[in-house]
Structure 1
Amino acid sequence: MTSTVADLMRRNLLDVFNEPDAGRRNAAIAETYAEDVVWHEPDRVVRGREALSVRAAELLAEQPGWVFRPEGPVSVTDDLGHLGWVYGPAGEPPVATGMDIAHCKDGVIVDLYTLVSEAPRPS
């Protein structure tokens, strides 16, 4: 089954970066990303599925109980996907907002770009 760009964007956010179970997360990584995927974070570049898996586990460990939530629908133009998101403690206002932009090819993400900003604080 070939995943659509929209499917890949949702799986990237929810099935990888929200998944605490390493086995399920790694299965999703294998189905979502090219073996040689390149992920551009604001402070680093991660190369390959294995390194992406390690980094996803680090992010989950840094903020236990925090979750990503989609902010609006996935936007798709040709082989590019965009999904805005919010991030913070489950059930509470977000602490950060951002977006993922992915270049997809042959039913997997080959390049992923993550942009992050702080969420506005209530006055």
Structure 2
Amino acid sequence: MRVNLLEVFGEPDADRRAAVIAEHYAEDVVWHEPDRVNHGRTEFVRRAAELLAETPDWVFRPTGPASELDDIGHLGFHYGPADGRPPGVSGMDIARTRDGVIIELYTIITGTDGRRDLSGP
């Protein structure tokens, strides 16, 4: 879960990010965001790059340890300015795995400060 947060969504280098996605996600991964569903690694790579480009001065920070139970993992996060100002978004990622790779990822937004609305329709 920490790899997902920090080495995918926190990785500015596109090649390194794609390599981590290839290693840790199934080819047919499904990522559920509040406002869309992304199917497959190709869409996953594209969408992760879009998020990083939308707020290049923001970073993800875990809000505690990851929890895992059988094939489910969870990690809370804050997403906001790198300079330490309060986060613009709070949420959690929940992942389902099979054979050591993520097959489904759910991103749930639990709060925003109005600077960025990721809550979906």
Q: TM-score, normalised by structure 2?
A: 0.90
The amino acid across from 1:36 in the alignment is D
Identical-pair percentage:
65
Looking at structure 2, the residues matched to 118 and 63 of structure 1 have their Cα atoms a distance apart, in angstroms, of 17
Give the aligned length. 113
Partner of 1:27, secondary structure, is: helix
Consecutive unaligned residues of structure 1, counting only runs of 5 or more, are 1-8
* Other-structure match for 1:79: 71
After TM superposition, what 4+ stretches of structure 1 lie above 3 angstroms from structure 2? none
1:25-36 correspondence to structure 2 within 5 Å: 25-36=17-28
> What do you get for the CA RMSD once the two structures are aligned?
1.3
Equivalents in 2 of 1:119, 1:59: separation in Å?
A: 16
Q: 1:12 aligns with which of 4, 9, 21?
A: 4
Aligned equivalents of 2:32 and 2:88: distance in 1? 21
Query: Which residue of the other structure, out of 105, 111, 116, is the alignment partner of 1:112?
Result: 105
Once residues 120 and 36 of structure 1 are traced to their aligned partners in structure 2, the CA distance between those partners, rounded to angstroms, is 33
Distance 1:87 1:21 in 2: 18
Within 5 Å, which residues of 2 pair with 1:95-106? 95-106=88-99
